[in-house]
Amino acid sequence: MNKTEASVTIALAAIPNSGKTTLFNRLTGSGQATGNWPGVSIEQKSGSFVLGEYSINLIDLPGAYALSPVTEEERVVRNYFLQSPPDIILNILDARNLYRGLGLTLQMALSGLPMVVAVNMIDEARRQGISFDLKVLSQHMGVPVTELSARTGEGIPDLKQNLYKVIKYPEKTRNPHISCPPLLEKAFSEITEAINQSGIDTRLDHTFLAMRLMEEDDPEQRANDDKAAVVTRQWYRRLKQSLRTSIPVACANCRFNAARGLAMEVLHDQPAFEDQLTKQLDRIFLHRFFGLPIFFLLMFLLFQGVYGLGAPLQELLSTGFDRVGTWLASQALVISWPVWLQSFLFDGLWQGISVVTSFFPIIALFFFFMSLIEDSGYMARAAFLMDRLMHWLGLDGKAFITILLGYGCNVPAVQQPGPDSWDIC
C-alpha cells in the first residue's frame, strides 16, 4: 500500500443479516449491537486491530443488497465507495444462501479494489447438509475466499492470513464477467471510454463508475466531466426508451443471472436445503389472510408482557424512591437547610430521578422482547407483512419497526426515518 504509515482501511460490506456485525466484533473486540435496529445499521461504525506490522481501521458499512441508490443504506454504502474508497474490501457471504449475497459481491469485485471474501456461518451450512467448492468461487472472482464462523471463531486465523497477504501484495481485482443485453453493454463501453478520456484520478475501475452513473436517478449529478455527462445522458435517454424495464432493474437482472450461475457452480448444482420447520412456520406467519391477524396478536402479547411484568416493577421502584425521599427529607440535618435547597433537591432532582428510573423496567423489557423477535427472524417477516400498509404512508415495511420503537423511546423513533421522511410524518 502506498501509505506514509502502516495504516490500512478495510471496508466490511455485506447484505443484511450475514453476521457482519458479529465478525466486526470478533476482529476488533468492539462492543456493538448485533442486528438491524434503527440507528445501528444506518450509522457508520469503525474499529481497529493490529495485523502484523499494519494498523487496521475496519469500517462496518450498513447492510445493503446493492450499490444502487434505492434505500438509505444503499446510498450510504455507494457514497462511501465513490467518495473515499477503502484500501481493501472484506465482503461477507451467508453460507446458507450464497445466491442472495453474490449480487453485491459481484458489484464489489467490479470496483477493481483488492478484496477478500468471507463465507460466514459455515457451521450452520454444514448442519444443513450444504457443501461448497470455494476454489471455484475464488477462481471466478479472482480473490481469496475464506470459510468461517464469526460466532464460534472458526476460520478467523485463515481470514487474517488472507487479509495480510492482500495488504502485503495488493492486486487489482479481476473483473468478473457479467452478461448484459448488447445495448446495455455498448452503453457501459462508451461511457467507460468517455471516463478514460477525462483523465479522472481514481482507484475505482472506470467500468464500475460507468455502471454507477447509469443507475443514478439523475446521472449528470455524478458525472464530473462534460463529455462523460453528455455520453451518459444520451445513453440514459436511449435505454429508457429501449428497455422494457428501468435501467437499475436491468442491471440487477444481469448481476443476479450471473450470481445464479456462479452459485450453481459453487454448490455443484445441488438444490438448496430447505429448513422444513421454517418453511412450515412461514406458511402460517406469512399466510395471505391470517398473517396480519397473527402479527397484531403477537404485538398485543408483546405489550401485555411488557406492561404486565413492568408495571409492578415500576410501582415498586416509584414507592421505594418516595419512601427514601420522605426519610431523607425528615432528617434533622436536611430540615436545617434553606427551603429553596430542600425544594430543589427533593421536589426537583429527586423526583426527576424517581420518574426516569421508574420507567426503566418497561423500556428494558420492551427492548428485550424486541430483541427476541429480531433474533427469531420474525422481524423481517413482519416487515414483509406490513409493507403494503406502510406504502400507503409513503414508507416501506421496515418503518413499522420505527413505530414500535416509539413505544419504548420516541427519540430514536423520530431520528430513524431521517429528514426526508419527516414531512410524511
Give the CATH number, domain containing residue 49. Answer: 3.40.50.300
Whether residue 97 sits in one domain with residue 16: yes
**Range picked from 320-324, 395-399, 419-423 for highest mean pLDDT:** 320-324
What distance in Å separates the CA atoms of residue 304 and residue 285, rounded to the nearest whole number? 20
* CA–CA distance, 215 with 238 (Å, rounded to integer): 14
| 226 part of a folded domain | yes
Residue 323 shares a structural domain with residue 220: no
- At residue 39, the pLDDT reads 42
- Dmax over CA atoms of the chain, in Å, equals 90
Write the DSSP assignment of 105-162 as a string of letters: HHHHHHT-S-EEEEEE-HHHHHHTT----HHHHHHHHTS-EEE-BTTTTBTHHHHHHH
Judgement on whether residues 32 and 152 belong to the same structural domain of the protein: yes
The answer on pLDDT for 221 being more than 60 is no
Are both 152 and 217 inside the same structural domain?
A: no
Tell me: pLDDT of 45 over 70.
Answer: yes
Helix (H, G, I), strand (E, B) or coil at 92: strand
Based on the domain organization, do 316 and 206 belong to the same domain? no
CB atoms within 10 A of CB 7: 13
Q: Are 144 and 138 in contact (CB under 8 A)?
A: yes
- How far apart, in whole angstroms, are the C-alpha atoms of residue 193 and residue 228? 9
Range(s) of the domain holding residue 215: 182-242
126 and 23, same domain (yes or no): yes
* Range with the largest mean pLDDT of 159-163, 234-238, 325-329: 159-163
Q: What is the mean pLDDT of residues 274-299?
A: 82
Q: What are the helix and strand counts (H, E) for the chain?
A: 20, 6
| Residue 161 and residue 187 in one domain | no
**Number of domain units in the chain:** 3
Average pLDDT over residues 231-244: 86
Assess if residue 201 is contained within a domain. yes
- The answer to whether residues 120 and 18 belong to one domain is yes
Residue that terminates a domain, selected from 168, 201, 227: 168
Give the highest mean pLDDT range of 64-68, 215-219, 254-258.
254-258
Whether residue 2 is predicted with pLDDT greater than 70 in this model: the reply is no
At 42 the pLDDT is: 62
Same domain, 18 and 144: yes
Q: What is the pLDDT of residue 198?
A: 81
Does the residue 107 lie in any domain? yes
Which of the listed residues 103, 137, 168 is the one where a domain comes to its end? 168
One domain, residues 311 and 414: yes
How far apart, in whole angstroms, are the C-alpha atoms of residue 407 and residue 362? 10
pTM comes to 0.68
Crossing angle of the two packed helices 378-391 and 276-285, in degrees rounded to 10: 30
The strand ranges marked E within 36-127 are 45-51, 54-60, 88-94, 115-120
Lowest mean pLDDT among 78-87, 208-217, 352-361: 208-217
Tell whether 264 is covered by a domain.
Answer: no
In this prediction, residue 3 carries a pLDDT of 45
Instruction: Tell me what the mean pLDDT of segment 125-135 comes to.
Output: 86
Q: 34-52 burial, b if ≥16 CB within 10 A, otherwise e?
A: bbbbbebbbeebebebebe
135 and 202 belong to one structural domain: no
Reading the block at residue 397, the C-alpha cell is 415495511
Tell me the average pLDDT of the chain: 82
Q: Report yes or no on 310 lying in a domain.
A: yes
Is 103 within 8 Å of 256 (Cβ atoms)?
A: yes
> Measuring CA to CA, how many Å separate 56 from each of 19, 50, 77, 207?
20, 6, 19, 28
For residue 417, pLDDT beyond 90: no
| Closest C-alpha among 290, 170, 188 to residue 231 | 188
Nearest to 251 by CA among 311, 200, 183: 183
Asked if residue 347 belongs to a domain, the reply is: yes
| DSSP structure class, residue 42 | S
Q: Name which residue leads in pLDDT, 218 or 175.
A: 175
Locus of grid cell 433537591: 345
Cα 255 to chain centroid, rounded:
20
Q: Which residues of 279-295 are buried (b: 16+ CB within 10 A; e: fewer)?
A: eeeeeebeeeeebeebb
Do 325 and 408 lie in one domain? The reply is: yes
Can you give the pLDDT at residue 413? 61
Q: Determine contact, residues 318/310, Cβ cutoff 8 Å.
A: no
Q: Which pLDDT does position 273 carry in this prediction?
A: 47
Instruction: Examine residue 28 and state whether it is found in any structural domain, yes or no.
Output: yes
| Separation CA 204–CA 214 (nearest Å) | 16
